[in-house]
Amino acid sequence: MNMCIPFIFIIALLIAAPVGALAQAPARMGILVQEMGRAQTQAIRGLSEELKRLGYRDRKNLLTETRNVKANRAALQPAASELVAQKVNLIFTTGTSATRAAMAATKDIPIVFVYPGNPVAAGITKSAEERAKNLTGVAAYASQTMESRLALIKEIVPELRKILIFFDLNNSFSRDSFERAEIAANKFGLQAAGYGVKSADELKSTIASLGAESGVAIFQVPDEVLESESEFLFETARAKKLPTMFNEESWAINGALAAYGPDYEEMGRQAGRLADKIIKGHSPASLPIERASKFALTLNYRTANFIGIRFTPAMLKKADKVIR
């Protein structure tokens, strides 16, 4: 009888060992991005910093697999499939295309996204409540900051009477964004002049044909065609002395007069807290999609000087960052 006790004890240890080993196994996180721009870099930095604060250490209790397809959309789906094959515990994505690729690649592995706009309008979710069971994340609902951006550009340019909005006629989301901007502009007593285009070449020729007018500013709604020609737009706007208001810090850094939009680093931290809960056993379906908690105003002092605009002391004080 006494001889059986050690034997039973050893068997119990062998049975328990895999469970203990599993508990000690590092979590595996996949990161999928279309390109590593400023917004993506900030979001990933915030994610990493928050996970570190929560006790995760790279290559100790957290293994990270990153797939950056460097703006090659065709490579997103294979990259997402690679992460699934790596048997990651969750996938972190930024933007529409990467999130859709991850959703197409798996219905089971949790996905945590960071998205600047409205995930419902983009078709990522049917509603805040009705969504894929493996999906959650942080959204900025950028269109809902439209009135804030209009108020800011009107404060920067007191004589403002008209905003120019360029958008892709082939994109229903861009068309809807223009309509929302038009309604919001009316609330501020502003005329919204829409320029629907069907190609980058048409966009460039339309921008180039603009005259230099006082009381007019270019106002951005999220649009891939417009954003792909941002360098040309900023150069032309400076030459024609036209103020430009965009929706993310990176645009002001690249030459826009002003930008007001979500703080991606903070959104990454929010996503990090969601990722921690998932790693600890919560299902994505039990974690509501969060709203971005912080927005920032960026002013470009160089652009202002070039086009002859003077930021008031009050506006400079209001800014979170000033590019000099």
Q: Digits of tens for pLDDT over the chain (324 positions)?
A: 454 444 444 444 444 444 443 446 899 999 999 999 889 999 999 999 999 999 999 999 999 999 999 989 899 999 999 999 999 999 999 988 999 999 999 999 999 999 988 898 788 999 878 999 999 999 998 777 899 999 999 999 999 999 999 999 998 878 988 999 999 999 999 999 999 999 999 999 999 999 888 999 999 998 888 988 999 999 999 999 999 999 999 999 999 999 999 999 999 999 999 999 999 999 999 999 999 999 999 999 999 999 999 999 999 999 999 999
Are 163 and 191 spatial neighbours (Cβ–Cβ below 8 Å)? yes
Maximum C-alpha span of the chain = 99
pLDDT at 213: 87
pLDDT at 45: 98
pLDDT at 17: 44
User: Residues 122-143: pLDDT tens digits?
Assistant: 889 998 789 999 999 999 987 7
Contacts of 145 (CB under 8 A, 6+ apart): 247, 260, 261, 262, 295
User: Which tokens is 227 given?
Assistant: 């954003």
What domains sit in the chain, N to C, each tagged with a CATH number? 25-142+263-295 (3.40.50.2300), 143-261+296-323 (3.40.50.2300)
Tally of CB atoms within 10 A around 24? 8
Report CA dihedral (75, 76, 82, 87) to the nearest 10 degrees. 180
CA distances from 124 to 108, 139, 145, 189, 237 (A): 16, 11, 20, 34, 34
Contacts of 171 (CB under 8 A, 6+ apart): 223, 224, 225
User: Which tokens is 39 given?
Assistant: 């917004």
pLDDT at 24: 64
Rg of the chain in Å (alpha carbons) = 24
User: Residues 32-60: pLDDT tens digits?
Assistant: 999 998 899 999 999 999 999 999 999 99
* Closest alpha carbon to 210 in 180, 187, 241: 241
For 108, the 3-state DSSP assignment is coil
User: Which tokens is 263 given?
Assistant: 């703080």
Contacts of 150 (CB under 8 A, 6+ apart): 163, 184, 185, 187, 188, 190, 219, 245
pLDDT at 138: 97
Inter-residue long-range contacts of 117-123, CB under 8 Å, 24+ positions, other chains counted: 117/141, 117/142, 117/143, 117/222, 118/142, 118/143, 118/144, 119/289, 121/173, 121/176, 122/96, 122/173
On average, the pLDDT of the chain sits at 91
Q: Which residues pair with 196 in a beta bridge?
A: 167
pLDDT at 122: 81
